[in-house]
Structure 1
Amino acid sequence: MLANPATKYIPFKPFERDFSERTWPSKRITHPPIWMSTDLRDGNQSLIEPMSVERKLEFFDMLIRIGLKEIEVGFPSASQTDFDFVRKLVDEKRIPEDVTIIALTQARPELIERTVEAAAGAKKAMIHLYNACAPAFRKIVFNMSKEEVMQVAVDGTKTVMACMAKHPETDWYYEYSPEVFSTTEPEFALQVCNAVTEAWNPSPQKKIVFNLPATIEATTPNMYADQIEFMHTRLNRRDSIVLSLHPHNDRGTAVAAAELGLMAGADRIEGCLFGNGERTGNVDLVTLALNLYTQGIHPGLDFSDIDEVRRTVEHCNQLPVHPRHPYVGDLVFTAFSGSHQDAIKKGFAVQKPDAVWEVPYLPIDPADLGRSYDAVIRVNSQSGKGGVSYLLEQEQGLALPRRLQIEFSRAIQRVTDETGREVSARDVYGIFEREYLSLHSPFKLIKHRITGDPDAGEGKQFSIEVELEINGERQVLTGEGDGAISAFVNSLGVPLRVVDYHEHAIGAGTETKAACYVEARIADAPTGFGVGVDRDIVTASFRAVLSGLNRYVAQYGTSQLSGALDKTAA
């Protein structure tokens, strides 16, 4: 690092003179913005491995369930995969009538035409056109004057109108972004947007969207808010405009910039779930939405099963969500410190179900997000009861997944509460063994035989014949699936769905064993874990499934499994 960074970096100054007419600092956010998810476009293009069509469909369906009404579905002119995906949504009528799909395009006629073709036939579709307006881009990237940049925006807008006119069956909307607005002279951004307004001729009944992106976050959130209020108070025909924000997170302040931008007059926010996106990411729509929720404002989006949302996003993006990520990370509702645990316990003791939420250290009730209170109190050295996970890994080689650490801490907590003493490494493993490894009723694995056929139909690539002891009687079961575990689960005939899976080796050389951890949802109970250890990894995974199933029976009984058990026995 330079001793004097001022010789290389200068502070960004959006206005020539101080913007003294700001009113946003005294404003409050009183209602949610219009939300637009760009996960399938901006988020997808930033992935190491872009989503397949199957993953995109899974993500799209989840966004619908959450309640998104505006979804940017791709960049059809840039990729045949994106074009085909948008056509698939339209041709297979996968888009609800109240949802607007959005397709991004650059301002070249042939790309605009291709983009409109991709979305044509949808009930409601928006074309999102952009061109870079910032000085560095005008000078370095495009070698254009301000007049030439403005003409690109106007000509592109007129081309969009002409292409839309060829497809009157679709209710068309238009969005324009002066790209890199964050480092564009506000006066010039205003000129470009007003010129686009003149070309498009919006109305209060059919508004145009002006999206003002912090394409590169260049300054503090308050200055971005000044830029937004400058536009908000000066745009021509403001009553015919939806003013939109698209904050990136280069400085780590995208959430703050978005919230201050709303206070400054914006109506709409574009972002991604959990902040995926180029470089340091787009603004996180989940954090923004739940920040509103903690202030008593329903965001209009449903995160009542936030763990399921996280699992889907992690699967589709193939990127993990950080354990400290606001609201959703595995550890964000977990207290390790003894003083924190004490305050939380006392808070829960006096908290009434219908009262204002006042539990210390917890800004939101985890139950509102479908999360368990069991994750709130964890036992480790900070609480004076030993580092449970550390002991298991150091002494037994068992590296528990985070959510299993949380689940297992309940068993340790029961023992420490009952005995009032410190638990040793031997105690910890003994409790773990009883809880997960020594349960063999009603299901006990005897042996299995698996065959694979890669040419078999979907869901039938693997066949299994498994011998189990069920309620003391030996039974031979068969099943098929697209993997060994799915074939095994299908053979059991019980309502079990594997939602997460982890494995690792224990030891080395000829003494190596495999440890498998399966998180499963059985019937309508909360998810729970099973653990299996064996020299053979497939056998270990089967033991893990049966461990979870036997733990479910021990806790809930067999009432919801009786039909399956009867069928199995028959």
Structure 2
Amino acid sequence: MPSHRYRDVYQRVSVPLTERQWPDNRITEAPLWVPVDLRDGNQALTEPMDPDRKRRFFEMLVAMGYKEIEVGYPSASQADFDFVRLIGSEGLAPEDVSIVVFTPARRDLIERTVESVRGITNDVVLHMYCATAPTWRDVVLGASRADVAELIMAGARDILELAGDLPNVRFQFSPEVFMLTEPDFVLDICDRITTLWDARPERPVVLNLPATVEVATPNVYADQIEYMHRNLARRDSVILSVHPHNDRGTGIACAELAVLAGAQRVEGCVFGNGERTGNVDLAVLALNLHAQGVDPMIDFSDIDRVRETVEYCTRLPIHDRHPYAGDLVYTAFSGTHQDAIKKGFAEHRARAQRLGLPEREIPWQIPYLPIDPADVGRSYDAVIRVNSQSGKGGIAYLLQQEYGIEMSRRTQIEFARHVQRYLDRTGTEVSAQRLRELYAEVYEADSMA
């Protein structure tokens, strides 16, 4: 493969942080989650959501507890403009939910964006973006560093002129392709923006630093975020935000390390939809926190309902192995895993009884299951399934759970051989009902004879 055609990230951009603090930090509370499914996710769909699907998706996000939602790119299409207006005219957003709208740094498009939110009583965030990295400046914009800086500042002045008098409107800026932009340039632009917009603690500015294309290991992104966190002016008046993509498959790690490095806000999509390999997955991020004992502040207690809604609205399936949400993620086929899970459940029940507490109230420590499936609305029915890779533990667990049949260890070993012969012949999974039938054929027929 022609690997010589590529350069590592350190040859493409300087990473000035040398004494990092983020490795010693811990995440003890959830950041502000901002789903961008209705804008960034929607623009990546083969068939963008129609108004009914967008409304259903928005109402789901509200019900789950999201307090800031990017709802569209109103200057890009009449459909997006009309949806923003619909949110206002029909009062779809509770008063504690902020609405985010997206715009390039162009006066005519900013005017259209401001028009879309005029009259909405909710808090509104006007989100302006412009690419800042050298390749984008040279190839896409055909502009110098100074030209791009002026383009951004002109857009920022337009936003201030057109919306600065709206008391419920705050401002956000994204230097697109932040992770490949020179640190001194992006820092200077961000500081000029917060000065112009008069960022104050009571009216903070969101500075959103995207890994628009993931190009490095997550520790590099964390270093870049910490550099900004430690050097931004008016830091107490800035909400530091990140927007990781998943081109290298490490978007989750990028977001988590960025929060360790000082990020307070994370943009992404509920199950990671988005351009190319997708945006960072907010469901995984939230449930990773849950699995560490930190309240994610978002309700995934019925993850199958969330999944059904997302699949319907996006017309995209969720993979069977998708963390926390996939059909098979709480299922064990391996005999070794099944035996450990079976013993774990037995110990869990005994410990709850010994403590005199409900099983749902005691600490969770079942081998191979990072969280209790019941936390996300799943049952234990599919935790153990039997195929040719399974062993006696899984077989015994299913018969005991479904039919109350207790087998001695010797019987478990003996019956597993019968089941294995059946599976070798059929090459299929065997259900609890079929195991019960096989058990009857082997043992109950003999006793009746």
Determine the structure 2 residue equivalent to 1:105. Answer: 103
Distance 1:159 1:224, change over 3 A: same
Note if contact 1:24-1:229 (Cα within 8 Å) is conserved in structure 2: yes
**2:202 corresponds to which residue?**
205
Q: In the alignment, which residue of structure 1 is the partner of 2:54? A: 56
Q: 1:165, CA displacement in angstroms? A: 4.5
Could you tell me which of 366, 372, 380 is aligned with 1:365?
372
Shift, 1:412, TM fit? 11
1:15 deviation in Å?
Answer: 5.2
SS at the partner of 1:275?
Answer: coil
Call closer, same or farther: CA 1:81–1:350 in 2, change over 3 Å. Answer: same
User: Counterpart in 1 of 2:444?
Assistant: none
Does 1:262 find its partner at 2:259?
A: yes
Q: Percent identity?
A: 54
Residue 329 of structure 1: aligned partner: 326
Out of 91, 94, 109, the position equivalent to 1:93 is 91
Equivalent residue letter for 2:77:
S
Q: Which has the larger radius of gyration?
A: 1
Q: Separation in 2 of the partners of 1:186 and 1:311?
A: 42
* Aligned residue number for residue 383 of structure 1: 390
Asked if the contact 1:53–1:85 (Cα under 8 Å) also holds between the matched residues in 2, the reply is yes
Asked if structure 2 preserves the Cα contact closer than 8 Å seen for 1:412 and 1:431, the reply is: no
Say yes or no: does 1:74 pair with 2:72: yes
| Residues 380 and 94 of structure 1: CA distance in aligned 2, closer, same or farther (over 3 Å) | same
Q: Is the 8 A contact 2:338 2:391 kept in 1?
A: no
Whether 2:285 is the aligned partner of 1:288: answer yes
Residues in 1 aligned to 2:170 and 2:433: alpha-carbon distance in whole angstroms: 61
Displacement of 1:35? 0.8
Equivalent residue number for residue 535 of structure 1: none
Query: Could you tell me how far apart the structure 1 residues matched to 2:297 and 2:402 are?
Result: 39
Are residues 1:300 and 2:290 paired? no
Asked if the contact 1:379/1:413 (under 8 Å) is kept, the reply is: no
TM-score, normalized by length of structure 1?
0.68
Name the residue aligned to 1:126. Answer: 125
Provide, for residues 404-454 of structure 1, a one-character-per-residue CA deviation record: whole Å limited to 9, x for no partner: xxxxx968984795796445469969958x99xxxxxxxxxxxxxxxxxxx
Q: Write the distance in 1 (CA, Å) between the matches of 2:387 and 2:104.
A: 54
User: Do the aligned partners of 1:86 and 1:118 also contact (CA within 8 Å) in 2?
Assistant: yes
Whole-angstrom distance in 1 between the partners of 2:429 and 2:300: 38
Unaligned runs of 5+ in 1: 389-408, 436-570
Corresponding residue of 1:356? 363
Q: Which runs of 5+ in 2 are unaligned?
A: 353-358, 438-449
1:239 offset after TM fit, Å? Answer: 0.6
Residue 381 of structure 1 aligns to a residue whose secondary structure is: coil
Is contact 2:399–2:432 with CA below 8 Å preserved after alignment?
Answer: no
Aligned letter for 1:153?
A: I
Residues 49, 410 of structure 1: alpha-carbon distance in 2 compared, 3 angstrom cutoff: farther
Q: Kindly indicate whether the alpha-carbon contact (under 8 Å) linking 1:412 and 1:428 is maintained by their aligned counterparts in 2.
A: no
1:77/1:111 contact within 8 Å kept: yes
2:317 corresponds to 1:320: yes
TM-superposed deviation, 1:19: 2.5
Q: Secondary structure at the match of 2:138?
A: helix
**Residue 99 of structure 1: how far off its partner (Å):** 0.4
Count of residue pairs brought into register by the alignment: 408
Q: CA deviation at 1:16?
A: 3.8
For 1:152, the equivalent position in structure 2 comes to: 151
Moved more, 154-163 or 314-323: 154-163
Cα distance, 1:355 vs. partner?
Answer: 2.2
Deviation at 1:146, TM superposition (A): 1.2
C-alpha distance in 1, partners of 2:288/2:433? 39
Which string of whole-angstrom CA distances, capped at 9 and with x for unpartnered residues, describes residues 374-424 of structure 1?
Answer: 121111111148x99xxxxxxxxxxxxxxxxxxxx9689847957964454
- RMSD, matched Cα: 2.5
Amino acid at match of 2:52: E
Measure how far apart 1:357 and its partner are.
1.1
8 A contact 1:107–1:153 mirrored in 2: yes
- What SS does the corresponding residue of 1:383 show, helix, strand or coil? coil
Cα deviation per residue 1:66-110 (whole Å; 9 max; x = unaligned)? 100000000010011111111111111111100011110001111
Superposition pairs of residues 546-561 of structure 1, within 5 angstroms: none
Structure 2 CA distance, aligned partners of 1:189 and 1:293? 34
1:198, distance to aligned residue in structure 2 (A): 1.6
Find the partner of 1:28 among 26, 29, 52: 26
Residue 44 of structure 1 aligns with which residue?
42
Contact 2:66 2:97 survives alignment (8 Å): yes
Q: How far apart are the structure 1 equivalents of 2:162 and 2:239?
A: 22
1:53 & 1:322 partners in 2: Cα distance? 26
Shift of 1:235: 0.6
- For residues 490-541 of structure 1, the C-alpha deviation after alignment (integer angstroms, 9 at most, x for no partner) is xxxxxxxxxxxxxxxxxxxxxxxxxxxxxxxxxxxxxxxxxxxxxxxxxxxx
C-alpha contact (below 8 Å) 1:158/1:199 kept by paired residues: yes
SS in 2 for 1:378: coil
Going by fraction, where is helix more abundant, 1 or 2? 2
Deviation, 1:232, is: 0.5
Evaluate the alpha carbon distance shift between residue 214 and residue 411 of structure 1 in structure 2; reply closer, same or farther with a 3 A threshold. same
Question: Which residue among 212, 216, 226 is the counterpart of 1:215?
Answer: 212
1:144 to 1:324, Cα distance in 2 relative to 1, 3 A:
same
Native 8 Å contact 2:124 2:170 kept in 1: yes
Partners of 1:184 and 1:108 lie apart in 2 by: 21
